[in-house]
Amino acid sequence: MYEGLAESQQLLIDWLQSLESSTGVPLSRTILTGFSQGGAMTLDVGLKLPLAGLVVMSGYLHPDIVTRAKSDFPPMLIMHGRYDEVVPLTSAVKAREAAESLGIAVEYHEFDMGHEIRPQMLDVLHNFVVKIMD
């Protein structure tokens, strides 16, 4: 079911680690954001790198999530639609609980919507970025 997942994770890690040389922006000033499957990849990869923050929209945990053995995880924003027909709301709750159990600072929001991104989410995202990049 998750064929190619490890390779995809490594490709994303390699790409993120290459960004500083091409953009001048270090990982410590980078916020990884993903929607749906991209949210799952954000959780997978984001907990392994020294990023500034993670944003998961309508995401979920893959079954074999591996985290760094350190305690310096980036802060995380999780947003999810209460009526999401693709990724159930319980997936967001599980992701929040798993993150909090690792000691991650999690900001969590539910919205009256389905599997989508709405303008009010962008307002929350903006506020999260401003807060963690100060």
- Tokens read off for 38: 């991209």
8, 62, 109, 115: which is the annotated catalytic residue?
A: 115
Q: What are the Cα distances from residue 41, in Å, to 12, 60, 69?
A: 8, 9, 19
115 is catalytic: yes
36, 44, 58, 80: which is the annotated catalytic residue?
A: 36
Reduce the DSSP state of residue 38 to 3 states and report it. Answer: helix
22 is catalytic: no
109 is catalytic: no
Say how far apart CA 37 and CA 57 lie, in whole Å. Answer: 9
44, 58, 80, 84: which is the annotated catalytic residue?
A: 84
Active-site positions read 36, 84, 115
